[in-house]
Amino acid sequence: MTCQVKVLPSGHSFGVEAHETILEAALRQSVGLPYGCRDGACGACKGKVVEGEVEHGGAQDKALSAADRAQGMALFCCAKPKGDLTIEAREVAGVGDIQIKTLPCRVEKIDKIHDVAVLKLKLPVSERLQFKAGQYIDILMKDGKKRSFSIANAPHDDAFIELHIRHQPGGSFSDYVFNTMKEKEIMRFKGPLGSFFLREDSDKPIIMVASGTGFAPIKGIIEHAIHQGITRPIVFYWGARTPADLYLAEMAGQWQAQHTNITFIPVVSDALPEHNWQGRTGFVHQAVLDDFDSLAGYQVYACGAPVMVEAAHTAFIGERSLPADEFFSDAFFLSKDMGSASK
């Protein structure tokens, strides 16, 4: 049985088949509902069920609390309709216009920087991946599992798809990348996915906050902004445990040196005396709080560890007056077998 879903306030409608979640059906029919992990963990797809009922599926409590459920909220990446629905959700303009493809690719190059592998993937000559800077792809494994990684290059620079993969000790996929993967290997992926990308219809100044390999999608977004001639002020905070974990800090420093609207602030949480670190220390979201008394007129893009993204979301909105609809995020979750960080 096909259930009909109406989205407010846009008025868009789409059908959901019995095997589909609300989000799967929306994406299939080019309705741009926001989403992140698609696994019930991040809460990016949370919206309100105005009329009708849903099965909540695998929604995790940290992303959808009991209070949320009592108020009629649902995670559309997990929820399936029990009948026709009316939902309330903020749609993402432009995402629905991009075709999601499953494609083969060749591992063209593997560069290892500290504990991060920078992969360059080459598509077939006849194919091109259209995407928005900041989105991600799913690497499709032979055992049926998937690994999600952010695209680190900008759309105009699409000769290769660039991924940044941090080595997780004992992780099946990252161990494979670091110890076994060879150039010229063939893999398959699905994408582009996600709603983490620059909102170009705004003229607000931008704060970008990354931890670890959360740098990857931020890199793509900043390179896209530079290419497009966007002159909105961008303050980029990149947090890591040690200076070496800021694996492409020189690149970020070059952005600042070459573009007057870009400021780069590296933040290290566990610097030791032998590191001779002269920069900012502590938690990266706290550095933002220390520098800004109010974020009322800003947009924020946060990417990386869930604990950082959640802390930034709570503090920036609750303590610095950031409008809730101006916080955009992508949280990286470890896969269940520690194979990789999701995105």
Phi-psi region of 109 (alpha: psi -120 to 50; beta: other; left: phi over 0): beta
Task: Strand 3-8: give its sheet, edge to edge.
Answer: 13-16, 3-8, 85-88, 46-51, 73-75
Cβ-contact 298, 162 below 8 angstroms: no
pLDDT at 97: 67
pLDDT at 328: 95
Name the pTM for this structure. 0.81
d(CA 271, CA 281): 8
d(CA 6, CA 231): 38
pLDDT at 337: 42
d(CA 47, CA 68): 10
> Of the candidates 309, 319, 32, which has an alpha carbon nearest to the alpha carbon of residue 195?
32
Same fold flag, 3-95 and 206-342: no
pLDDT at 339: 37
* pLDDT tens, position by position, 264-296: 999 999 989 999 999 999 999 999 999 999 999
pLDDT at 94: 67
d(CA 66, CA 213): 32
pLDDT at 65: 92
Residues of the chain with confidence (pLDDT) below 70: 94-97, 333-343
pLDDT at 336: 43
pLDDT at 342: 46
Q: Which two tokens stand for residue 172?
A: 């099946």
pLDDT at 338: 37
Q: Which two tokens stand for residue 191?
A: 């994408």
Q: What are the extents of the domains in the chain?
A: 3-95, 99-193, 206-342
| CATH level 3 topology of 3-95 | Ubiquitin-like (UB roll) (3.10.20)
99-193: which CATH architecture? Answer: Beta Barrel (2.40)
pLDDT at 29: 84
> Of the candidates 246, 235, 234, which has an alpha carbon nearest to the alpha carbon of residue 288?
235
CATH classification code of 206-342: 3.40.50.80
